[in-house]
Structure 1
Amino acid sequence: MPVAVIDGQPLHYIDQGTGPVVLLGSSYLWGHDMWTPQIEALSQQYRVIVPELWGHGESGPLPAHTRSLDDLARQALALLDQLDIAQINLVGLSVGGMWGARLALLAPQRVNSLVLMDTYLGAEPEATRQYYFSLFKMIEDAGAIPEPLLDVIAPIFFRPGIDRESALYQDFRASLQAHSRERLLDSIVPLGRLIFSREDVLEQLSHLDADTTQVMCGEHDKPRPPTEAEEMAELIGCSLILIPEAGHISARENPEYVNEALLTFLANNA
C-alpha cells in the first residue's frame, strides 16, 4: 500500500484503477477491507482511493492536535493535494460520511458528488455518547478490548440475526482482538472520543448540492438508524436509498445492492 505523510504521520491508502476519482471513507474500527467488494467493482471504471483511518490498518497513530472531524476532513484534503487530485466523488460510510460531508462543506469545489452511507451529521445522542465513552474507559483500563466486550462491540456493526460464525463476523471480531495496547490508547480510543463528541452540523446540510448528493442506509442499521438518514435526506433535499438485509456496514452485508446503487449514481454524476 502507498503511504503519504500527513501531519507528521504515515497515512496508508489504496489507489486502484483509472478514471474519475472515487474516494471511499471508511467506518471506525474497520480497515480498507470493508470496501473490498466496492474496490473490485468500481475500479473497473474509476480510480478508487481508500485512505485508512489513523490507527487502523497500516496507518500510523492519530497525529497530535487532531481534535475534530474537521481535522480529519483537512487531512483528507492534504492527501488529495499530495496526489495532485483536483476533484473527487466522495462515498463516506459512518465516520467516513461525517468527515466527508464536512470536506464537501469546507471545499465544495473539490467534491463532484457525495454519497453519505450509514452516517449522521447531528451530534451523538447523549445516552449513546455516554454509553460509548463507558466502553472506551473499560478498554483504556484494560489496555485491550476485553473478551466480553468483543461480543458487545462487534454486533453493533451488523444486522440483527447475522450468523456469528460467518467469516464476515469472525474476521471483524478477530481484528478487534488484535489491536495492540499502544494502538488502542494512542489512536483508537482518542479517535472514538473525537467521533462521538462531534458537533451538530445538520443546519449546514442545506448547503450541499441536492442534485449530486445521495443518502444511503442499511434497513437494519442500529447505531445510525434509517430515521437519521431520512432526516438528513430531507434537509439536503436529496433522495434516500434503504439497503435491504443490511446493518451498519451495508457495503459488506449487501455488496451487490450497494455496488449497483453506487455505479448507477456515479454514472449520472461522476
Structure 2
Amino acid sequence: MPFATIDGQPLHYTDQGTGPAVLLAGSYLWDQAMWAPQIAALSQQYRVIALDLWGHGQSAQLPEGTTSLDDIARQALALLDHLDIDRITLVGLSVGGMWGVRLALSAPQRLNGLVLMDTYVGVEPEPTRQYYFSLFKQIEDTGVISPQLLDIVVPIFFRPGINPQSALYQDFRASLAALPAQRLRESVVPMGRITFGRDDLLPRLGELNPETTLVMCGDQDKPRPPSEAREMAELMGCPCVLVPEAGHISNLENAGFVTQALLKFLAQR
C-alpha cells in the first residue's frame, strides 16, 4: 500500500488506473474504501487517487501543527507534488469538499474540475457545532465511541429508510466501535473539531469557475441537506444534482447514479 510522508507523518492513499487524474476526498470517519465503487469504475479511464484522512484508515496521526482545513488542503497538494501530478479533477464529499474548496481557491491552476458532494463551506450552525463538540468531549474523556454514541452518530450518515441490519450500516458501526483510544484522542477528535469549527468560505465561492464545478447531494442527506447544496450552487452559478434515495454518504447509498454522474462530468473536462 502506498504512503507519502507529509509534514512528518505517513499519509496513506490508493493510486489506480491511468489517464487524467481524479482525486477522491472522502468523509470524516470514513476511509478511502468508501470510494470502492467509484474507484473500480473511474479507473478504467482515469488515474484515480483516494486518500485516508489523518487518523483514518491506514494514515498516521494528525501531524503536529495541523490546525485548519487549509492545512489539510496544503497537505493534499503536497501529495500531488509527491506523485508528480500537475492537474486533477477533485471530487470532495463532506469534509473532502470543505478542504477541497480551499485547495481550489489556493491553487486554481491545479484543477480541471471540482465536484462538491454532501458538503457545506459556510460555518457550522452554532447549535450543531456545540452539539458535535459535546460529542467529541465525551469521546475524548472516555477514549471510546460508546454503543450509546454509536446509536446517535451512525444514523447521521444514511438516509432515514436504510436497513440498520445492512452490511453498509453494520460495517460502518463496527469500524467506529473498533477505533482505539489513542487514535480517537490524537487524530479523530481533533480532526472533527477542525471540521466543525471551520471558517466561512461562502463569500469566496464566486471565485470558482462555474463551468467546471458541480454540486451533488443525497436527496435525504440529514447533516448536509439539499438546501445547503442549492445555496452553494446558486452562489457559484453551477449545476446542482440531487442523488435519489441517498443520505450523506450518497456515493455508496446510490453508487450507480453517482458513478454515472461523475463519468459524465469527467468526460466534459
Whichever residue aligns with residue 263 of structure 1, its letter is: L
Q: What residue in structure 1 maps to residue 185 of structure 2?
A: 185
Taking the TM superposition and a 5 Å limit, the aligned residue runs for 1:164-175 are 164-175=164-175
Amino acid of the residue matched to residue 102 of structure 2?
A: R
Partner residue in 2 for 1:72: 72
Unaligned ranges ≥5, structure 1 = none
CA distance in 2, matches of 1:198, 1:101: 12
Q: 1:119 offset after TM fit, Å?
A: 0.3
Q: Structure 2 CA distance, aligned partners of 1:91 and 1:97? A: 7
- Once residues 235 and 116 of structure 2 are traced to their aligned partners in structure 1, the CA distance between those partners, rounded to angstroms, is 13
Q: Deviations over 1:245-268 (max 9, x none)?
A: 000000000000000000000001
- Measured in 2, the distance between the counterparts of 1:253 and 1:237 equals 27
- Count of aligned positions: 269
- Cα distance in 2 for partners of 1:175, 1:102 equals 29
Distance in 2 (alpha carbons) for counterparts of 1:84 and 1:22 = 13
1: CA distance, partners of 2:57 / 2:46: 23
| 1:195 counterpart residue number | 195
1:248 alignment partner in structure 2 = 248
The 5 A counterparts of 1:1-270 are 1-269=1-269
Rounded Cα–Cα distance in structure 2 between residues aligned with 1:262 and 1:112? 13
Q: CA deviation at 1:141?
A: 1.1
SS at match of 1:119: coil
- List gaps (5 residues or longer) in structure 2: none
**Structure 1: how far apart are the matches of 2:8 and 2:124?**
30
Deviation at 1:161, TM superposition (A): 1.7
1-side partners of 2:246 and 2:33: how far apart?
A: 17
C-alpha distance in 2 between matches for 1:9 and 1:208? 31
Distance 1:118 1:12 in 2: 23
> What is the DSSP-based 3-state SS (H/G/I as helix, E as strand, rest coil) of the residue aligned with 2:67?
coil
Render the CA deviation track for 1:34-65: whole Å, top value 9, x for unaligned.
10100001000000000100000000000011
In structure 1, the residue corresponding to 2:193 is in which secondary structure? Answer: helix
Whole-angstrom distance in 2 between the partners of 1:235 and 1:68: 24
What is the distance in 2 between the residues matched to 1:156 and 1:36?
Answer: 21
Q: What amino acid sits opposite 1:256 in the alignment?
A: G
User: What amino acid maps onto 1:249 in structure 2?
Assistant: I
Take 1:237 and 1:67, find their aligned partners in 2: how far apart are those partners? 31
Q: Residues of 1 paired with 2:262 and 2:191: CA distance?
A: 28
CA distance in 1, matches of 2:112, 2:203: 21
Rounded Cα–Cα distance in structure 2 between residues aligned with 1:255 and 1:47: 19
Q: Distance in 2 between matches of 1:157 and 1:34?
A: 12
Q: Within 2, Cα distance between the matches of 1:32 and 1:86? A: 22
